Amino acid sequence: MKAKAIVIMATRRQDQDLVTEVVSKHGVDKHSIVTSATDDKDWRGVVPSYGWHPWFSHQIYDDSDDIYHSAEGGAGKLTNEQKMAHYTSVLTPAPEDREFLLALPEALPLSNLLSDTRSRLEQHPLALVGEIGLDRGMRIPEAWLPGQANSRDNTLTPGGREGRKLSPYKVSMEHQKTILLAQLRLAGEMGRATSVHGVQCHGLLYETLRECWKGYERQSMSKRERKKVQQERKKDDTENAATAAAGDKIKTKTNLPYPPRICLHSYSGPAEQAKLYLASEVPAEIFFSFSLAINFSTSARDKTEEVIKLVPAEQILIESDLHIAGDRMDANLKGMAEKVCELKGWSVEEGVKQLRANWMRFVFGGSGEDRKA
């Protein structure tokens, strides 16, 4: 690929080990990425990201609830009755078909998800948290019918839809929010950047993120003060790159209740909603990412163009939002970069440098999390 580095996002239980396996073979370090623009070393690399996507959030149960303390079978395995009670409580409308409920995947304890993710983040200092978020429109697929699972395509990672029809059931927003908040707080504890998914629920997503940073808001700043912060950020970005190139550890604040850096991936909300994230009191550093696959494949492209023009240069990211690397991914990244340059009035060289600096700051950190409240 022409892209030097890509971030691979885990979304469900089957992804976690696969991401780790890929990174064990193709992972990169800060020094390689920082120096790649000035040397002739031909390398390609992967940055891992661990998370549980809202499409699969029903497969997690909140084991802090007393009703699950009597789970049998070890490792938090639920009885059949507990399993049915869990899925009935988190799916809407509540399913009444016992056979359907029992055919759904075994639910995992939230505490296990968090401890597993924490362990992976500790093992991989560059790892992000994601993809996590909220989705009001998704419906879970029908359960596997007898014999279907045995005839599935074994070249595909298990756990996906794989052509199954969609059921009428959605995951309640309350449950999605529980799973999201737990992962956001873990990202804050570990000081990791986070990729957040939001579909048909932009207001609720903003309120959920704001719930994390409540009490940590920064004081409102004047235009002059904001300009000074931006100038300091550029200076810190330069120092940050030098630190990484030297192989030194970049300091990142941890033990916060919110992630220090948040990417709203393939952002599809309106410009008015985006302005809420750009408010000076928001303590997290917010990035807006855009993709051809999502943002410019529907009638929402006009709304996306308005947001891209609105968002400050240092807060824009691009992505492929594809599940397969290679030529198509390169082409989508190139096309999205050109689209951003066109809308922002940048030359391609200027735009690529800006987007690269933004990606570096999002993944590795910079001045954003060090701004004083």
Tell which wins on pLDDT, 73 or 287: 287
Tell which wins on pLDDT, 121 or 148: 121
CA angle 194, 127, 134 (to 5 degrees): 30
Which band of pLDDT confidence, cut at 50, 70 and 90, is reported for residue 369? very low
Asked if the model's pLDDT at residue 84 lies above 80, the reply is: yes
pLDDT at 336: 97
Q: What is the pTM of this model?
A: 0.88
Name the pairing type of β-strands 128-135 and 45-50.
parallel
Q: How far apart are the first and last CA of the chain?
A: 41
Nearest 5°: phi and psi at 130?
A: 160, 160
Average pLDDT over residues 323-340: 95
CATH class of 5-138+171-245+253-370: alpha beta
Alpha helices in the chain (DSSP H): 13-26, 30-35, 80-90, 98-103, 110-123, 173-190, 202-213, 223-245, 271-277, 292-295, 301-310, 327-344, 348-364
Q: Where are the domains of the chain?
A: 5-138+171-245+253-370
Average pLDDT over residues 253-274: 94
Which band of pLDDT confidence, cut at 50, 70 and 90, is reported for residue 92? very high
d(CA 5, CA 265) in angstroms, rounded, equals 17
- Residues 52, 60: contact at Cβ < 8 Å? yes
Question: Nearest to residue 132, comparing CAs of 27, 56, 211, 23?
Answer: 56
DSSP letter (8 states) at residue 257: S
Mutual orientation of helices 301-310 and 327-344 as an angle, nearest 10°? 60
% residues pLDDT > 90 (the chain): 69
Average pLDDT over residues 287-292: 97
Which band of pLDDT confidence, cut at 50, 70 and 90, is reported for residue 146? confident
pLDDT at 71: 53
Average pLDDT over residues 155-182: 94
Asked if the model's pLDDT at residue 367 lies above 50, the reply is: no
pLDDT in tens, 308-326: 999 999 999 999 999 889 9
Residue 68, sorted as left (phi over 0), alpha (psi -120 to 50) or beta, turns out to be alpha
Range with the largest mean pLDDT of 10-14, 25-29, 253-257, 294-298: 10-14
Average pLDDT over residues 140-166: 85
Asked if the model's pLDDT at residue 261 lies above 70, the reply is: yes
Average pLDDT over residues 71-100: 87
Tell which wins on pLDDT, 143 or 166: 166
Which band of pLDDT confidence, cut at 50, 70 and 90, is reported for residue 155? confident
pLDDT in tens, 37-59: 555 566 678 999 999 999 999 99
Tell which wins on pLDDT, 220 or 28: 28
